[in-house]
């Protein structure tokens, strides 16, 4: 089955030059990526082309274009989220990364880091209590999710 490449319909809230200029000066990397995706779509790139350049999934690209079409650049910005902030302070993230990447010590009495083991580590060494689900979310945010099964 041959898949048709679909060109996205983008409402021109901004010229291509203006979108590119905004992208280049954007300090928020997540927003810059979205703006660049919309820019590419507006130039006539297809979903697979935008996906290849931005690394985003097809549905994500569709959402970026739909949001931009509805509300321009303001709609692409992150909206406030409900829920509690992360428990482990950002200034401790690197310490946790190092601790996990160096592997368990003799004192840990482990052969590998698992979710429950990281949960105990967070409690004992960092003074933070997490649910197992919260540990897995934290590991994903810190790009350490693959470490838990090694």
Quote the pLDDT of residue 85: 66
Burial 97-134 (b: 16+ CB within 10 A, else e): eebbeeebeeebebeebbbebbbebbeeebebebeeeb
Question: Which residues touch 10 (CB under 8 Å, ≥6 apart)?
Answer: 38, 41, 42, 65, 68, 69
Confidence of residue 59 (pLDDT cuts 50, 70, 90): very high
Quote the pLDDT of residue 33: 96
Quote the pLDDT of residue 1: 52
Quote the pLDDT of residue 2: 55
Which pTM value belongs to this model?
0.55
Of 15 and 5, more confident: 15
Average pLDDT of 109-118? Answer: 91
Average pLDDT of 56-74? Answer: 94
Tokens coding 110: 């482990």
Tokens coding 63: 């959402």
């Amino acid at each position: 089955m041959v898949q048709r490449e679909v060109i996205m319909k983008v409402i021109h809230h901004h010229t291509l030059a203006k979108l590119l200029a905004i992208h280049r000066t954007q300090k928020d990397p997540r927003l810059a990526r979205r703006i660049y995706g919309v820019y590419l779509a507006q130039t006539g790139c297809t979903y697979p082309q935008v996906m290849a350049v931005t690394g985003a999934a097809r549905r994500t690209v569709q959402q970026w274009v739909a949001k931009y079409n509805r509300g321009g650049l303001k709609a692409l910005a992150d909206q406030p989220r409900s829920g509690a902030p992360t428990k482990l302070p950002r200034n401790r993230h690197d310490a946790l990364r190092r601790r996990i990447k160096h592997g368990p010590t003799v004192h840990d009495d482990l052969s590998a880091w698992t979710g429950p083991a990281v949960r105990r580590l967070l409690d004992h060494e960092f003074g933070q209590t997490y649910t197992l689900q919260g540990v897995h979310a934290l590991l994903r945010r810190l790009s350490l999710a693959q470490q838990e099964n090694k």
